[in-house]
Structure 1
Amino acid sequence: MKAFRKEVVFVIDISGSMRDDPLEKTKYEVIGSLWKLNQGDSFNILASNGEVRSFSSSLELATEETIMNATEWLNTNIVADGGTNLLLPLKQAIQMVGKTCDSIPLVFLVTDGAVEDEREICNMMKGHIVDGELNSPRIFTFGIGSYCNHYFLQMLANIGKGCHDSAYDVDSISFRMQRLLDKATTPLLSNVILDGLESHQLFPFRLPDLWSGSPLNVSGRFEGNFPDIVKVKGFLGDLSTYVIDVKVREAKDMPLDMVCARREVGTLTAQAWLDQDRKLEEKVAKMSLQRGVPSEYTRMILVQNDNVKPPLNSVLPKEKYSKSKNQRISCPMNLNVGFGNLIATAENLPPGIEELQLSEPAAKVMQAALYCWTVFRDRFCCKCFIRTCGQVNDQCAIALAELCTALACFQCISCCCDTCDSCTEMCSCL
């Protein structure tokens, strides 16, 4: 297949909080991504800490010489200092790309902080995104730590028909950023549409392109009789139209609504944040209760009766539970990410420097377990892991089964199904 010609602009937050590992690992992955560009692709790099520094005043062809010059520029001129400003560099990035009709513009934003004009940025980007146009910018966002507003970054990526990823700890920056960059720079089918679905609600609401090595997962709602075949249309690298007939199958033994619940809750939460829609917040809370997925508007609690083995209750709103004489209620650590921390960003606090204060030992254990699960999930393929389990002895298999049951109680299995691309193939094999 002929590869798409790409125009790539990297927007890097170089505020003081990005010093040391976050910035150095970002530089390394950006440089590695430059060397993977094809002949004919072009790029530029913008670094922002209140003022914008650019590698070039315009896009440069991705030749060996320009990539070596960009590497030297990054290593010698870019240091972490100053504050966080995202609107100005994003404006400049959008103005640089999309001037030709035969290339795909890609804008990558990397930040670890929150800014006050996030809604303004989203609304500004809406005016630059045109459905059905090849040269409409694709926006990919990567958040580092817990101080940035991940719902803003997710909404920005949804508007720009891209995707969002994050690293809550410094050790996972390289792996997750490389995965995002590799996926986004290898489009196979552009301007994807689902033909024949006239009444539907999709998550994400703007379909991204189909990327190499990553399935295109779409969920949503439909009213009426669902067709037997859904036609998926898009453009190939030679700008010809390609149509895929996707046969519809009914899922009988697989709870697909639970697999998709986490992403739908996240998408609607980002929309509720952008629109400041109270009714949509209530809808997200209701969905969270029905499907047992934590949200920003609900909270997980543990209810223990005096003479009964403590069960794990579903997600409940903070105001919906009360203590009684026969119950002891404990609240594990907050499983949500919040909407950013403007104070920590203004003070240039590095990611993770303010540890969450946990009052109960169980909450500390929960935090450690979630961190270990995140590291494990990022570095191992679910399908390969299950195949490996088939080779172990009976005693080890029993221990693994008990571990998986425990993880399922905390929705880790659903989270894995929603985040690991390999699970799509795994589920079809099972």
Structure 2
Amino acid sequence: LGRGTFTHVSALEDVGSRMDELLTKIDSPVLTDLKLKIEGDAELYPNPLPDLFSGEPLTVMGKFTGSVPLSVRLEGKDAESEFTYDLPLNLDSAPKEEAIPFLWARNKVSNLMDEFRLGNEQLKSEIISTALAHRILTKFTSFVAVEQIVVNPSRYLLSKAVPTELPEGWKYDSISGPRPSVKFASLPQTASDAPLTVVVGLILIIFSLVVFLVRKRLP
């Protein structure tokens, strides 16, 4: 676990060529079974070290307790023999980057999570403590935003019940019981007799007009 490599395929048409690159890479690694030997107390991650493939860097994050050693020894195997290489350490001239402790902690948590998934559940407390100390998001920790500016200084809140629609597939009867039946009541007939009055008035006007015309024709 943890000694392999990966290839990212961003487009479907690149699958063939990228898979050929991956198979060629894993078929002939440059170095295998890598170990980093350091004098003193040090936490190194990833642990174990991955195999070294052509065109890829080997990045190791370490935390030293006490004095820093002057050199480290990298051991491994190539295609023909054992490999050993001594690397000098000069941390006094190294740049002081604030992100380095965070990167080390993230690698440590990743390593612990691999062991946790394999059944070592006792590592949960160590994962949480490391994540909280370095502010890392994990399966057991999360970020909480705390607003410092009070938007509503008067603190008078308005509460109002707002009706909402049920989610798709839900039925009202299965949640709140059957809907209450609605009783329809007849309203009293309170309208005026204005339409009838208009009709009677028109009839009287027509009758008066007829009488006037008849009387006008008489000798």
TM-score normalised by length of structure 2: 0.53
Question: Secondary structure of 2:143's match?
Answer: strand
Letter of the 1:193 counterpart? K
Q: Of 239, 243, 247, which residue of structure 1 is paired with 2:88?
A: 247
Offset, 1:214: 0.9
Q: Of 50, 60, 66, which residue of structure 2 is paired with 1:208?
A: 50
The CA distance in 2 between the partners of 1:172 and 1:305, in whole Å, is 50
* Cα deviation 1:90-136 (Å, max 9, x = unaligned): xxxxxxxxxxxxxxxxxxxxxxxxxxxxxxxxxxxxxxxxxxxxxxx
Aligned alpha-carbon RMSD (Å): 3.4
Q: Of 227, 230, 239, which residue of structure 1 is paired with 2:69?
A: 227
Offset, 1:171: 6.3
Aligned pairs for 1:321-360 (under 5 A) are: none
State the match for 1:336 in structure 2.
none
| Bigger relative contact order (CA 8 A; separation at least 6) | 1
- Say which one has the larger Rg: 2
Question: Secondary structure of 1:290's match?
Answer: helix
Offset, 1:297: 0.5
Question: Secondary structure of 2:115's match?
Answer: helix
* Cα deviation 1:374-414 (Å, max 9, x = unaligned): xxxxxxxxxxxxxxxxxxxxxxxxxxxxxxxxxxxxxxxxx
The CA distance in 1 between the partners of 2:105 and 2:47, in whole Å, is 15
Offset, 1:181: 4.5
Q: Of 112, 116, 123, which residue of structure 2 is paired with 1:272?
A: 116
Count residues in correspondence.
148
Offset, 1:306: 4.2
Offset, 1:182: 5.2
Higher normalized strand content (fraction of residues): 1
Alignment gaps of 5+ in structure 1: 1-156, 309-324, 326-430
Structure 1 residues 171, 307: closer, same or farther in 2, change over 3 A?
farther
Offset, 1:163: 4.4
* Cα deviation 1:145-171 (Å, max 9, x = unaligned): xxxxxxxxxxxx23xx3346788x996
Offset, 1:295: 0.5
The CA distance in 2 between the partners of 1:282 and 1:195, in whole Å, is 28
* Cα deviation 1:272-318 (Å, max 9, x = unaligned): 2323424x21221222222222101011232324437xxxxxxxxxx
Structure 1 residues 265, 182: closer, same or farther in 2, change over 3 A?
farther
The CA distance in 1 between the partners of 2:55 and 2:124, in whole Å, is 34
Letter of the 2:78 counterpart? L
Question: Secondary structure of 2:106's match?
Answer: helix
The CA distance in 2 between the partners of 1:293 and 1:183, in whole Å, is 33
State the match for 1:299 in structure 2.
142
Letter of the 2:119 counterpart? D
Offset, 1:268: 0.8
The CA distance in 2 between the partners of 1:164 and 1:227, in whole Å, is 33
Structure 1 residues 256, 306: closer, same or farther in 2, change over 3 A?
closer
Contact 1:188 1:212 in 2 (8 A): yes
Letter of the 2:117 counterpart? W
Alignment gaps of 5+ in structure 2: 156-219
* Cα deviation 1:24-79 (Å, max 9, x = unaligned): xxxxxxxxxxxxxxxxxxxxxxxxxxxxxxxxxxxxxxxxxxxxxxxxxxxxxxxx
Identity percentage over the alignment? 26
The CA distance in 2 between the partners of 1:257 and 1:179, in whole Å, is 34
Contact 1:183 1:213 in 2 (8 A): no
Contact 2:30 2:53 in 1 (8 A): yes
Q: Of 218, 237, 249, which residue of structure 1 is paired with 2:60?
A: 218
Letter of the 1:192 counterpart? L
The CA distance in 2 between the partners of 1:194 and 1:208, in whole Å, is 11
State the match for 1:193 in structure 2.
35
Offset, 1:187: 1.2
